[in-house]
Each structure stands twice: as structure tokens, then as C-alpha cells.
Amino acid sequence: MTNNYELYKVFYWAAKTGSLTQAAKALYLTQPSVSHAIKQLEQNFGITLFYRNSKGVALTQEGTILYSYIEQSQVLITMAEEKMAALKNLDNGELRIGGSDSLFKHYLLPYLEDFHKNYPGIKLHLNHGTTPEVMTLLKDGTIDLGVVRLPIVDSQLEARETIQLQDCFVAGAQYAILKDTVLSVEVLLQYPVVLFSRNSRARMAITELFQSYGYTLKPEIEVGSVDLLIEFARRGLGISYVTREFVAKELEEGSLFEIQLDIKLPPTHVGIMTMRNMPLTQAASKFIKQVK
């Protein structure tokens, strides 16, 4: 028996063309090399695979049986090579990204639009979740990369910082009395506060910040999306903690205003997270390069 794929490849082309000369041309080999390969394969099996005729060569009965198997494998190998070429050229494949709804909508959407326009053959799969959930998806291979708020402390993961965001408290017309007024944290907490879910990076950051000043942040309302944070503030149901860049439209049109505090809220950073020492797909690598 042999594990030499090249011998089977020579056999396939000799059988397919019925000519050692044509097989040599197809494989960019000399005819003696083709003859030697077939002889070696016949010796390995201990049977005759070809016999000569007036047109060139033809398969023996045993050769026909072998060809029925080799033909299938050759077709699959050719398909695999074509698939790999398509993946390399981004004509085919998929891109799996994990992140929050807000980052997809307010940050990644233009990049996803451009990527889809440039590489329409790549299927986009977006997996929504909090930062801990995205980290889990990345580790179990469900996604190729995650877009999350930093910092990330995990030896298995690495992140490349992209943009900086600024979180703030906003309110609607019902709290107009607070406009142009600088509030202390103590006064702010006398009003109903609306926060994102407990597992979000933004929620954990503001909770830790307030704790550093000796205050416990207990929201009156918790929601699961940035859109709800915005809408609850607009309707006067409380003062929402959101990312300023995500409410730029509402702040400009005046349906929301920013609450001024006597403490500084530190900026946060967004990063693209990948598995450390794990090669990226062509699609993931190309996408990361275009994101700023």
C-alpha cells in the first residue's frame, strides 16, 4: 500500500485521459516519470492497473475499481482547493462577530456595511451579548472576534484598542430643572436612576466609580438595551446612564440633556478581542484591518 498522493494523482490523470503523454502534460511531468509512477503503484498493489491499446492505455478490471474510488477523492480534493482559494480571496466564507447591540448599531454598523459591500460572498453572523458572554463565545469557537469595552484581563485573550467613548447621565424635559446645574453624586442619587443590566461593562464601571466615592448605586429601573435607556430618559421615567456618542442626536435636538456632575466620569475604550496565538480567518483579519 502507499500513502503517496502523487502516485494516485498520476494514476487518475492517466486513467482520465487514456494517455500517458496527456497525463504528463496535465501534471507538467515527463512521460517516463508518469510511467515510473504507475509502475510503482502497480508494484505496491501487486496488480496490473493498465494495459496498452492502439489509443494509449486503458484500465484493467482492477484498475477500473481503483479509479471509481480515486475519482471521488480527486473531485473532493479539487473542490477543497477551490474552496480554499475562495476563502483566501474572500469570495466565500463567513465572519462571526460578538458584541453588544449598542456597539453593533452605533459603532460597527458602517464597517459592516462597507465590508458586506466589498465582500458580498462572506456571510455575516452577529452574536449579541455582554462582555463576559462574548468572551465565552470567543473561547468556545462560536465567534471569530469580539468587540467589547476594555479593559479585558484574561491570559487567553488579547484586545486591540480602537475608539474612546464617554459615558454620561442624561434626562428628558421632565427634569429640566436640573439643566445647567452641577449636581453632586449625593443629589443625583435622590432621583430615579436607570441603568443597563448588571453584567454590562458600563454598569460595572459606574458602580465601581461610585463605590470609590463611598456611594452605593441602586437603580430604580434596569433595562436590557441602550434604546430603552434612551427612551426611558426621554419619557421622564428617570435619569439614564448612557454613552454620550450614542445619544448625540437626542442631545442635539434637545429631547435629552446631559446631567453635569461635580465628579469626572472617566472615558472608556472599545477594543477588538481575539484569541491569543490563534490564527484568524482571512475574513476576520481583513475586517479587523478596516476597523478604526
State pLDDT tens for residues 69-119: 999 998 888 888 877 777 777 888 899 999 999 999 999 999 999 999 999
Is residue 2 over pLDDT 90?
no
Is residue 129 over pLDDT 70?
yes
What mean pLDDT is predicted for residues 133-148? Answer: 94
Return d(Cα 33, Cα 189) in angstroms, integer: 85
Q: What is the CA radius of gyration of the chain?
A: 32
pLDDT of residue 87: 75
State pLDDT tens for residues 266-289: 999 999 999 998 889 889 999 999
| Residue 3 banded pLDDT, cuts 50, 70, 90 | low
pLDDT of residue 252: 96
Cβ(163)–Cβ(231) below 8 Å = no
Is residue 1 over pLDDT 60?
no
* Strand pairing category for 50-53 and 56-59: antiparallel
Class of residue 92 by CB neighbours under 10 A (exposed 0-12, middle 13-18, buried 19+): middle
Return d(Cα 19, Cα 55) in angstroms, integer: 8
Return d(Cα 119, Cα 61) in angstroms, integer: 48
The amino acid sitting at 182 is V
Question: What percent of the chain stands above pLDDT 90?
Answer: 80
State pLDDT tens for residues 199-232: 788 898 999 999 999 999 999 999 988 999 999 9
User: What rounded mean pLDDT belongs to the chain?
Assistant: 92
Return d(Cα 98, Cα 112) in angstroms, integer: 13
* Residue found by looking up cell 469580539 in the block: 146
Here the cell at position 49 is 492497473
DSSP string, the chain: ----HHHHHHHHHHHHHT-HHHHHHHHT--HHHHHHHHHHHHHHHTS--EEEETTEEEE-HHHHHHHHHHHHHHHHHHHHHHHHHHHHTTSS-EEEEEE-HHHIIIIIHHHHHHHHHH-TTSEEEEEE--HHHHHHHHHTTS-SEEEEEEP---TTEEEEEEEEE-EEEEE-GGGGGGTT-EEPHHHHTTS-EEEE-TTSHHHHHHHHHHHHTT-----SEEESSHHHHHHHHHTTS-EEEEEGGGGHHHHHHTSSEEPEESSPPPPEEEEEEEETT-PPPHHHHHHHHH--
Domains of the chain: 5-88 (1.10.10.10), 94-161+272-290 (3.40.190.10), 167-266 (3.40.190.10)
Contacts of 105 (CB under 8 A, 6+ apart): 226
263 or 1, which is more confident?
Answer: 263
Q: What is the pTM of this model?
A: 0.71
State pLDDT tens for residues 147-190: 999 999 999 999 999 999 999 999 999 999 999 999 999 999 99
pLDDT of residue 265: 95
Return d(Cα 289, Cα 292) in angstroms, integer: 8
In sign, the C-alpha dihedral spanning 73, 74, 75, 78 is positive
